[in-house]
Amino acid sequence: MMYIESQEKRGAISRRAVLKGGALAATAVAFGRLGWASANEQRSIPQVRLGNGVMMPMLGFGTYGLRGDVCTESVADAITAGYRLIDTAKVYQNEEAVGAGIKKSGIDRKSLFVTSKIWVEDSGYEPAKRAFQTTLDKLQLEYLDLYLIHRPRGDVQGSWRAMEELNVAGRIRAIGLSNFDESQLASLTAGAKTKPVINQVESHPFFQETVEHASLLTAGVQMEVWAPFAEGRNGLFTNAVLKQIGTKHGKTVAQTVLRWHHQRRVVAIPRSSNPEHRRENLAIFDFSLDAEDMGRIAALDTNRSLFPEWT
């Protein structure tokens, strides 16, 4: 839900500044040693089979904080670059711009996996149905691939019943949750006809949510992560361990972190308004982190949220 580049507003070190000022960036070209593959060099993005059998890309494009023409152009370019999973939400106030970007890309709708989310003010059976239709209208789509309850607030049971019906009617291919903890997920599931297939949560090297991840795996619920780069907080892009591992593989810190997410079997949705960064984020399927790398990153976990306002 919260992605890279808004960190400049919070005083964090930006990825753009790191790349611009670093010695590596000064001597490497975008499509060379930094590992930014061109479109025709990109490998297809692996997919994961959700609990209801629907296939979902394991790497997508987040749109939190993108508005207007910047959002439209970013979405259209992301799709051109190879992204197929596009994530938005009512509260992002950009669904119309996202829809315009999808339309501008010219790609077959069936090739995309589009996610949106219901906000707290629309919780409840009837409000959820109205909110869903508004989202579809703004996106200019006939169906959603995934619809999530954005926060565990309000009448979540009523919202879930509405989403179950929309799922059965074929208007949503899969339904899930966001920011639910283990007990909240269990409470909703206890009275549900349809089990959630996704829980979208905060996770990054400094807050790895290993217990939550294991619990979701056991429950057959796919973990999806927002803020995969922690929005640059805690100096993620200058972290010595992540830089060392990246250098070892000829990759950037961003690519190293996304590869770490991928090897944990979680779906990540990084956001960037920078076309080079969008392509850089896709170039993670031509290398692997070894056990030592994974162990060093595991040791970075503080087990403390960097976004307590969302807990």
Catalytic hit among 64, 83, 92, 147 = 92
Q: Please report, in angstroms and rounded to a whole number, the separation of the first and last CA atoms in the chain.
A: 13
Please answer whether residues 200 and 176 qualify as being in contact, where contact means their C-beta atoms are separated by less than 8 angstroms: yes
Phi/psi of residue 144, each to 5°?
A: -115, 150
Alpha-carbon separation of residue 141 from 45, 163, 174, 190 (angstroms):
23, 17, 15, 32
Helix (H/G/I), strand (E/B), else coil: 197: coil
Q: Is 92 considered catalytic here? A: yes
Residue 214: partners with Cβ closer than 8 Å, 6 or more residues away? none
H-helix or E-strand spanning residue 293: helix 291-298
Distance CA 146, CA 163 (A): 10
Please answer whether residues 174 and 141 qualify as being in contact, where contact means their C-beta atoms are separated by less than 8 angstroms: no
Active site residues: 92
